Amino acid sequence: MGADKHEKHKHGRLPPFVPLLVATLDSPAWRALSHGAKALYVCLRRRYNQNNHNNGRIYLSHRLARKELRSGYKQIARWYDELQFYGFIVMTTPGHLGVEGQGTAPRWRLTELGYMKEPQTQEFLKWDGRLFGKPRPAPPPRKTKPRYGKPLRTVTEIHNTRAMEIHNAEPPKRYGKPSQAQNGSVTENHSRTSLPSIGSSPVSLTASRELIELERRRALRAPKSAQARPPVRRPAR
C-alpha cells in the first residue's frame, strides 16, 4: 500500500530543473539586465542546493562559466559586475590562491534567497534606475574655424635664386705672394651669395649694400705687402 503510494508520488515528480521566482523575473532590475547576465545568473541559481542551504557558498569559476556560456573571460567578468550592480548577487568570500597553489573561485550569495537563518535581502528591488556601464556621450569633434579677415601665415617657396657678384678694385693683399694688381689684372671675387628673388625690394638692396661695405672694410684692414713699399734711399757717404 505504502509502496504503491511512493511509486505514484515518484512518477509525478518533475526532472531536475532550475527554479526562478516570478517576483524576480517581474522586477525592473531583471528587465534591465543584459542577456549574458541573465544566463550567468541561471548558472549560479542552478548551483543552489535547498537541502544543504549553500547560499553564500555558491561558486562558479570563470573557466566553468566560459565552458557553459561559451563566452570570453572579459564578458563573463562584466556580467558578474552587472549582477552585483543591480543587486542580484553579493560576494561573501573573494577569490584567492589556495594552500596547494590552486586558485579558489569567489563565493556568492543570491539576494532572493535566505542566508544563515536570515531572510532574503532582495537588493535588486531597491534599484534606483541607473543603468550599468552607460557610456558617456562622446564630445563633438572639434572643427577649425576659418580666420575671417586675417591673412594666412604661409611660407613662400623659393623657386630660383639670384647670384650676386661683388667686384673689388683693391683685393686684400697677403705677405709672401706677389700682388695681382701689379700685373695689370684685377681679381674678381666669384663668391656667390644666394638671395631670394624678391625683385627690387628694400630687403635685397640693403643686403647687397651691406655685403659690399663688408668687403671694402676687409680690404682696408688688410696689411700691405712689403713689395709695395717704396725703397728707402740712404744718403751717399
pLDDT in tens, 190-205: 444 444 454 455 556 7
C-alpha cell recorded at residue 151: 591673412
The domain of 214 spans: 162-178+187-221
In angstroms, rounded to a whole number, what is the distance separating the alpha carbons of residues 228 and 212? Answer: 25
pLDDT of the residue at 150: 61
Return the H-helix or E-strand segment holding 108.
strand 107-110
Long-range contacts of 190-196 (CB under 8 A, 24+ apart): 190/165, 191/166, 192/163, 192/164, 192/165, 193/163, 193/164, 194/161, 194/162, 194/163, 195/161, 195/162, 195/164, 196/158, 196/161
Q: For residue 82, what are the contacts with CB-CB under 8 A and spacing of at least 6? A: 33, 34, 37, 132, 133
pLDDT in tens, 163-187: 444 444 455 555 555 544 444 444 4
Q: Residue 192: what pLDDT?
A: 47
Predicted confidence at residue 187, as pLDDT, reads: 46
The span from the CA of 173 to the CA of 169, in Å, is: 12
Residues 170 and 110 in one domain: no
The answer to whether residues 115 and 173 belong to one domain is no
Number of domains in the chain: 2
Going by their DSSP bridges, the two strands 107-110 and 89-93 should be labelled as antiparallel
Q: Which three cell numbers stand for residue 22?
A: 516570478
Looking at residue 215, its pLDDT comes to: 86
Q: How far is CA 197 from CA 110, 161, 164, 203, 205, in A?
A: 85, 6, 11, 11, 11
Regarding whether 194 and 103 lie in a shared domain, the answer is no
Distance CA 31, CA 28 (A): 5
Inside any domain, residue 232: no
Give the pLDDT score at 186.
Answer: 45
- Domain membership of residue 140 (yes or no) is no
Looking at the domain assignment, is residue 131 inside a domain? no
Measured distance CA(35)–CA(205) in Å, rounded = 81
Assess if residue 6 is contained within a domain.
no
- Which residues, given as ranges, of the chain have pLDDT below 70? 1-11, 134-139, 142-204, 222-237
CA distance 66 to 76: 7
Q: Residue 115: beta bridge partners?
A: 118
**Residue 10, domain member (yes or no):** no
Q: Cα(84)–Cα(71) distance, rounded to whole angstroms?
A: 19
Tell me the H-state helices in 60-201: 62-69, 73-86
The rounded Cα 213 to chain-centroid distance in angstroms is 57
Asked if the structure places residue 27 within a domain, the reply is: yes
Identify whether 63 is part of a domain. Answer: yes
Distance (Å, whole) CA 121 – CA 124: 9
Q: What is the pLDDT of residue 133?
A: 84
pLDDT, residue 40, reads: 97
The model carries a pTM of 0.53
Instruction: Using alpha carbons, select from 11, 231, 202, 32 the residue that is nearest to residue 130.
Output: 32
**C-alpha cell of 209?**
649694400
**Residue 237 confidence (pLDDT):** 57
- Amino acid letter, 67: K
Same domain, 92 and 172: no
